[in-house]
Chain A
Amino acid sequence: MSRPRDDSLSRIRALPDGPGDTPPDPAEVPAGLAGRIADEQLVHALLARELGDARQAGERGVRAVLEALAEPAARPGREGRQPVVQRVLRRTAVAAAAGLVLATGLLLLIPSERPAHAAVDRILAAFDGAADRTYRILVEPEGAPPADPPRRGRHWREKQALRRLLEEPGRGGRAELDGAILYLRGGRQFVLVRPAPNGQTVVNGHDGRQSWLVRPKRPVLVSSDPRAFRIPMPEAMAAVPFVDLRQTLLRIREGYRIAEVSWRPLPGEAATRRYVLAERKAGDREPPTSVELWADPDSGLLRRIVYHGARTRGRPQPQRISLDLVSTDGLPDDWFTHSAHHDAGVEVEPVP
């Protein structure tokens, strides 16, 4: 582990770790260093699989290819474009056309709010019609972090950050929104899985008919009230229920000022997506202070939503809550019913 490293390599930042970073130009890389840079990039790829979102990429790719092979035109030796190529070409064409239409629209309509509302409407329309989606939720403090206790420096903070990461789930004695997974079907059904102490999970959801809550070693609660078992948080924040993204989008459309509609890449990506920034209207004091949305330009599929200045229980500091789309894979038919999330025989208790 302590092998001396090549100084010339340390001066070259090969891997972009942020949206503004760019890889080095091959002409600027001294001869003989390409191999070591390639090794660092391979480590990056291995880490993405070991720790990140790439673990399922291979299997996902195999399934997509098998589906493509089911098409008659995909038989070996046949000529003709394959589905993935068609999809790429179609997406490029649609994106280009959408960009042209949008640019024309913006030129004609600015400063009217019409195109801004149209952008949110498009995301809403896609939301209602979308198939299964899975989002990962991250909660981070926003603004300056609170002061550390005396004589606790960076080393202590790093150890704490690492401990929290490695011990998830299970900190704080209650289910956490940070690290939770949100599953959605259509505009109404959802399942929210939150990590709870001792590696267990608290799961709540709505199957289109009733709300339900599954907790470790306790009866399952069901209610006909669609607002039952929402995420516990202060009253003001409950007005923007995170699990109900559709309501959130409606509220953004009606209650927020659309400050920006443009094209921006998601962090870590190069391709631009439809971007909407909505800010709290003057005089309105309810959090969050602003909301950012990224959506696919051709489908309107919501890729990321970020709430700024949000308030959650047990955290005095304003929080940034982000929901990132991690999968559009189809979920089991019964996934949004409570019985899919607990053993048979667990007591089910209706509540008003």
Chain B
Amino acid sequence: MRLRLKQTVRAQEVFEILMRENADMLTAYLRAVVRNPAAVDDLFQEAMLVAWRRLDDYDRTRPFGPWLRGIAARLVLAHQRSSRKDMLFCSEEVLAHLDRRLEQISRRPGDTWDQKVAALRDCLRRLPDGYRAAVELRYRGGLDAQSVADRLALSIEAARKRLQRARGRLADCLRGKGVFASLEPPG
């Protein structure tokens, strides 16, 4: 009994390390397809708890991240069926694309998630002022498109378009820096 408890405590310590190593990646994966931040929090916890319960099924010779994303993908698709309003654009194809993208990022140099995606900060600095102001207001200020439009004296449609183009430019910049490298077709 004592041995089993000790084994469980040891497994929990290892699992905590795996969780911390993959927490930012999993948050990005979920946030890329789930609109509601509260739903992201719930799905994060559910995915981690399912991973813990199924830890015996995990092949320890393979990386933990893709296995965790596989669990999260099933939960996301189930959540989409019950709460479509919580979601961004999401399909199996989108999830597969994100899975490969995040695998690319995980192989980039750096020990932490911040280091692996550090290129984003340089891309942000290179954005034209108008695009950067819109992005700062939307994300740092937490404003919606209408408030961004009010602040920048734009029509709401122009503000939406500017945000979309700013994100598109950032994606292009990340492609140029190899963070979003070209992907082989899924095989």
Q: Are A40 and B168 CB-contacts (below 8 A) given A18-B146, A136-B142?
A: yes
Residues in B lying within 8 Å of A, measured CB to CB = 8, 11-12, 15-16, 19-20, 23-24, 26-33, 35-42, 44-46, 48-49, 52-56, 83, 85-91, 93-94, 97-98, 101-102, 117, 120-121, 123-124, 126, 129-130, 132-133, 135-148, 150-154, 156, 159-160, 163-165, 167-176, 180, 183
Among A15, A24, A34, A77, contact of B93 (Cβ-Cβ < 8 Å): A34
Among B49, B133, B148, B152, contact of A74 (Cβ-Cβ < 8 Å): B49
B84 to chain A, nearest CB (A): 9
CA distance A337 to B93 in the complex (A): 53
Confirm or deny: A101 has a beta carbon within 8 angstroms of a beta carbon on chain B: no
CB of A61 within 8 A of CB of B41, answer: yes
A-B residue pairs in contact (CB < 8 Å), sample of 24: A3-B175, A5-B168, A34-B94, A39-B97, A39-B171, A40-B168, A42-B180, A45-B32, A50-B117, A51-B135, A57-B31, A57-B37, A57-B40, A57-B44, A61-B44, A68-B49, A69-B49, A74-B52, A84-B42, A145-B150, A145-B153, A154-B154, A270-B36, A271-B38
CA distance A88 to B40 in the complex (A): 12
CB of A66 within 8 A of CB of B139, answer: no
CB of B89 within 8 A of CB of A18, answer: no
CB of B23 within 8 A of CB of A54, answer: no
* Chain A residue at smallest Cβ distance from B172: A3
Interface centre among B124, B143, B156 (most CB of A within 10 A): B143
CB of B45 within 8 A of CB of A68, answer: yes
Q: Are A10 and B183 CB-contacts (below 8 A) given A39-B171, A57-B37?
A: no
CA distance A157 to B85 in the complex (A): 35
Q: 10 shortest A-B CB distances, which residue pairs?
A: A58-B23, A270-B85, A45-B31, A17-B145, A51-B139, A84-B45, A61-B44, A162-B133, A23-B89, A45-B32
CB neighbors of B among A2-32 (8 A): 3, 5, 9-10, 13-19, 21, 23-24, 26, 29
Among B88, B123, B140, contact of A16 (Cβ-Cβ < 8 Å): B88
CB of B150 within 8 A of CB of A52, answer: no
Residues in A lying within 8 Å of B, measured CB to CB = 1, 3, 5, 9-10, 13-19, 21, 23-24, 26, 29, 34-54, 57-62, 64-66, 68-69, 74-78, 82, 84-85, 87-88, 136, 138, 140, 145, 154-155, 157-159, 161-162, 165-166, 267-271, 324
Interface centre among A9, A23, A138, A161 (most CB of B within 10 A): A161
CA distance A75 to B49 in the complex (A): 10
CA distance A35 to B171 in the complex (A): 11
CB of A42 within 8 A of CB of B32, answer: yes
* Chain A residues within 8 Å of B148, by CB: 17
B68 to chain A, nearest CB (A): 12
CB of B144 within 8 A of CB of A44, answer: no
CB of B27 within 8 A of CB of A271, answer: no
Q: Are A76 and B168 CB-contacts (below 8 A) given A58-B27, A61-B45, A159-B129?
A: no
CB of A13 within 8 A of CB of B164, answer: yes
CB of A50 within 8 A of CB of B120, answer: yes
CB of B160 within 8 A of CB of A29, answer: no
A290 to chain B, nearest CB (A): 17
CB of A158 within 8 A of CB of B133, answer: yes
CA distance A59 to B44 in the complex (A): 11
Interface centre among A29, A39, A59 (most CB of B within 10 A): A39
CB of B38 within 8 A of CB of A43, answer: no
Query: Given contacts A1-B123, A39-B171, could you give 11 more A-B pairs where the C-beta distance is less than 8 Å?
Result: A1-B169, A15-B88, A17-B159, A34-B89, A37-B89, A42-B101, A46-B120, A52-B139, A58-B26, A88-B42, A138-B143
CA distance A158 to B136 in the complex (A): 11
A182 to chain B, nearest CB (A): 15
* Chain A residues within 8 Å of B133, by CB: 158-159, 161-162, 165
Q: Are A165 and B49 CB-contacts (below 8 A) given A38-B101, A39-B180?
A: no
CB of A162 within 8 A of CB of B86, answer: no
CB of B32 within 8 A of CB of A61, answer: no
